[in-house]
Amino acid sequence: MKVVLLQDVKAQGKKNDIVEVSEGYARNFLFPKKLAIPADAKAINDIKNKKSSEAHKIEVEKAAARELAAKLEGITVKLNIEGGSEGRLYGAVTAKDIAEALKSQFGIEIDKRKIMLDAPIKAYGTYKIDAKLYQEVSGKVTVSVLEK
């Protein structure tokens, strides 16, 4: 008997999978615990629609991330920070500072966790920093740390 799983079932499959199980297992275990429904035409069609809408949503998010990456390529974020002698800063420039500057200077919102800094910036200069926008989409942000 073919059933559509409504939840992950150990040794059977994941949610929304269509699996073949014995009739007794389906009637006595899966159906009473609301873990599965019979795989009729309506249920199979619903699963296909969910998967296609999910794929469309992912594609739209990827396109938005690519567009944002293209925007980031052409801009330079300027941060005016106080520092001491020898070009060293009193504090450090973190991903949070860069995200806030992007929002205030260009109106671009990026989560600070998506800005990949190996270590906080502690000296004046210009830096190229990666921003991981989506799974396979990343952009580069140019950050210029200037003396106040």
Residue with tokens 């035409």: 41
pTM above threshold 0.75: no
pLDDT digits (tens, 9 = 90+) for 93-143: 999 999 999 999 999 999 999 999 988 898 889 999 999 999 889 999 999
At 59 the pLDDT is 95
DSSP assignments along 68-110, one per residue: HHHHHHT-EEEEEE-B-GGGEEEEEE-HHHHHHHHHHHH----
For residue 38, give the H/E element and its range: strand 36-38
Task: Give the closest residue to 117 by CA, choosing from 125, 126, 127, 109.
Answer: 127
Choose which CATH entry (1.20.1560.10, 3.30.470.20, 1.10.10.10, 3.40.5.10) describes domain 2-63.
3.40.5.10
At 1 the pLDDT is 93
CA distance 32 to 11: 18
For the chain, the structural domain boundaries read 2-63, 64-147
Choose which CATH entry (3.40.50.2020, 3.40.50.2000, 3.10.430.100, 1.10.510.10) describes domain 64-147.
3.10.430.100
